[in-house]
Amino acid sequence: MNVMLNRIDAVQQRALLLHQRACEAPIQPELLATALDDLNLVLEELRTAHEEVIQQNQILADYQQQLEIERQRYQDLFNLAPDGYLVSDPKGIIQAGNVAIAALLHLRQESLLGKPMVLFLPVKHRCVFYARLAQLSCAAQGLPTKTWETQLLPQAGEAVDVAITVSINREGREVRLRWLVRDITEKKQAEAKIHRQAFYDQLTGLPNRAFLDTYLPKVLAQAERQQTQVAVAFLDLDKFKDINDSLGHEVGDQILHQVAQRLAHCLREEDLLVRWGGDEFILVLSQLTAVDPVGRTCDRILNSLQPTFAIDDHQLHIGTSIGIALFPQDGTDPTTLLRRADHALYQAKNQGRNTYRFYQPGLTIKCIGDGEQSQGS
C-alpha cells in the first residue's frame, strides 16, 4: 500500500510540472510534444495504479470473505458443541453462550447476553466463583487448567451437576474468560449408585458395616475433642430365626424392612442405625452428656416393636435384645466397644430377652450353645 501511495505522489508531481510548462509563453512545439508524451505517461501510471487498487480491493474482499467463512465455521462449531460454552468479561458478565448452555439453563441463547454468571450458581458456591475470578484477574498468565464441580440453577427445573473449566484469553488490553461447562449428572448418579451399593444395605436402605467402619472412628474422635460420650448398642431380633425358617426368607425380609423403619423412628437426627447383618443391627448414639437418654431410646425401641407385624396373612410378633457399651468408660476404640456391646447383648438375652443391658466388667455370661463366657476383657 505504501508503494502505491508513493507512485501516486510521483504522478502528481509530474502533473504539476506539466502544468508549469504549459503556462510558459510562447508555446514551443517541441515542448508541447514533450508535454503530451509526459501526459500519456501520467495517464498510463494512473491506469496502472487504478488496476492495482482494484486488485488490492479484490484481495481484501477475498480475505474478508474467508474471514466470514471462518467466523461462521467457528460459530457453527460453537453452537453444535455438545458441552456448554460461555464467554464472559473478567467480572463474569456473559458476552456469548452456545446452544448447549442455553438449553442447560432453559433460556433463549440471546437472553444470556449481559447476565452475570453468578446468578446461575447456588448461593453456597458463589464465594468460590468470586475467588476464581480474583485469581484470574491477578494472574499475569493463564492459570493451569483446573476443573471445578458445582451446580447450575436453570430458569426452571432442578439444579444440574456440572464440571466447569475456565481459561483466560488476552488480546492486547482486552481480556475474555472462556468457560467450558460439562453436564456430569449421569456421572454423579453413577457415583452415588456405587457409593450406595458399597455403604448401604439393599434390603433395609440402612448404612452397612463398611459405612460404620468409616463413621465410628470419626464420631469417637469428635467425642474425645468435645468431652462427650458415645453409646454403641448391639441389637439382635428375638426368635427371628424361627419365623424365617418356618415362613420363608421373603417373610423374613419383610420383617427386617419393617423393623428398620420402626427403629429409625425412635432415633434422633444425630444418631446412626446400621444393619450389621442377618437380624443384627448396630445403634450409635453420639453427643451424649449423660447416660439417661440411652435408656430412654432403648425403651422407645422396645415399645415400637410391640405392635404386631402384618405380613401377608400373618400377624407376627418380634422383640429385640440390646447390649450397650459406652465411650470412653467401656472402651476408646471401635473394636473394643463393639465387642463389649456384644457381650452386653448376650447378658440381655440370658436375662429373658426383649430387654437391654449396659456392659458391666467382670460379669460371666452364658452364651446360648457355647457354655459360659467371661465378660471381662
Residues with catalytic function: 279
d(C-alpha 136, C-alpha 170), whole Å: 11
Helices vs strands, H then E, count in the chain: 10, 14
Which residue, chain included where needed, has cell 509530474?
14
Q: CA–CA separation, 265 vs 371, rounded Å?
A: 36
Distances 350 to 40, 238, 336 between C-alpha atoms, Å: 129, 12, 21
Q: Where are the alpha helices (DSSP H) in the chain?
A: 2-22, 29-80, 99-105, 126-138, 185-199, 209-226, 240-247, 249-264, 292-304, 334-350
| Helix, coil or strand: residue 306 | coil
Beta bridge partners, 175, equal: 170
CA dihedral of residues 158, 124, 225, 268 (deg, nearest 10): -30
164 vs 180: CA distance, rounded Å: 6
According to DSSP, residue 205 is labeled -
